[in-house]
Amino acid sequence: MGARLIVTTLNQPVGPGQPQPEQGVTYAGRLTREDGRIDWSRDAAALDRQIRALTPWPGTFTTLDTPLGGQVVKIGGAALVSAPRSAPPGTILDDALTVACGQGALRITHIQRPGRGMMDAGSFLRGQPRQITGLSVQQVLEEAAGRLAAGRPVTSITAGRTDAGVHATGQVAHLDFPMGTGLTGSKVRDALNFHMKPHPVAILQAMPVDSAWNARFSANRRFYRYRIVNRRGRLALDDGRVWLVKRALDIDAMNEAARHLLGRHDFTSFRASACQAKSPLRTLDRLAVMRHGEEITIETDARSFLHHQVRNM
């Protein structure tokens, strides 16, 4: 149909051409990174067009307030939504990352933290520690536990961190319930799972422990598994759960490099700037790279890791 329409149009007589008038002509300047800065006082529709026009390059960005100061994040996608007029521009309105604008609001759908890949907003919000914005695993767990304790606050401690975009399949945590609740392990498991609906968090097993036991400091082993899909084709069913690397990877070279990290070393170069560990010395017991068809798996374990150590390795 399109080809026939083009042929028909070209065969029709065309009138004399007319030059474009100089008056009213505008010129587009060269785009810079600063063009991507989001001003939340602008109309939501205008910001939506800005994000779509400047994605992927030069990209749009904004600053989130965190306990460590302002953190610049890239915005990869957003959707127009309604918002109460009383909310000041830039206010995060709910757990879905809806941000108030000068008029209307934008719900951020894709976001990228420094040093990380672009991720959907749900993955960004589902990290283990309580978030500066939105919902987290810790918040869901503690709010559910509070219902079991007749509304009294219950704190949780986990064996390790799972930041936004990281999935925990065997996380260990302990909850400090007030005395006299009379809860058994099976009741705690079932009740927490009930109260955490519909959030994607599940308690697999629960049992009472001594008051001196601590999920973080009593742990004697921690395991990490990173999954890489090594192919040209885009991700489908595993999107958000694996890292897509299109260039061919040499696992023999990767294993050779990993061998130099085994044992006890000073991992200062691999720790996060916000790491709270007193010593950078850690003993890495295992770091193995395996290929199964298109998927490459990196597995490592040790008694403890520094903040961001595994990710940076």
Residues with a known catalytic role: 163
For residue 163, give every residue at least 6 positions away whose Cβ sits within 8 Å of its Cβ, in sequence order, or none: 127, 128, 129
Q: Which stretches of the chain are DSSP H helices?
A: 2-11, 44-54, 121-125, 137-148, 185-195, 251-259, 309-312
Dihedrals phi, psi of 140, to nearest 5 degrees: -60, -45
Q: Residue 37 gets which letter from DSSP? A: B
CA angle 43, 46, 49 (to 5 degrees): 150
122 burial (CB, 10 Å; 0-12 / 13-18 / 19+) is: middle
Is the CB of residue 123 less than 8 Å from the CB of residue 136? no
What is Dmax (Cα atoms) for the chain? 93
H helix or E strand, kind and range, residue 244: strand 243-245
Rg of the chain on CA atoms, in Å? 26
Is the CB of residue 122 less than 8 Å from the CB of residue 136? no
Q: Cα–Cα distance between 175 and 185 in angstroms, integer?
A: 12
- Taking alpha carbons only, the member of 74, 39, 79, 77 closest to residue 59 is 74
User: What are 92's two structure tokens?
Assistant: 């995060």
Dihedrals phi, psi of 62, to nearest 5 degrees: -150, 180
User: What are 41's two structure tokens?
Assistant: 């006082």
Dihedrals phi, psi of 305, to nearest 5 degrees: -130, 160
User: What are 278's two structure tokens?
Assistant: 């007193």
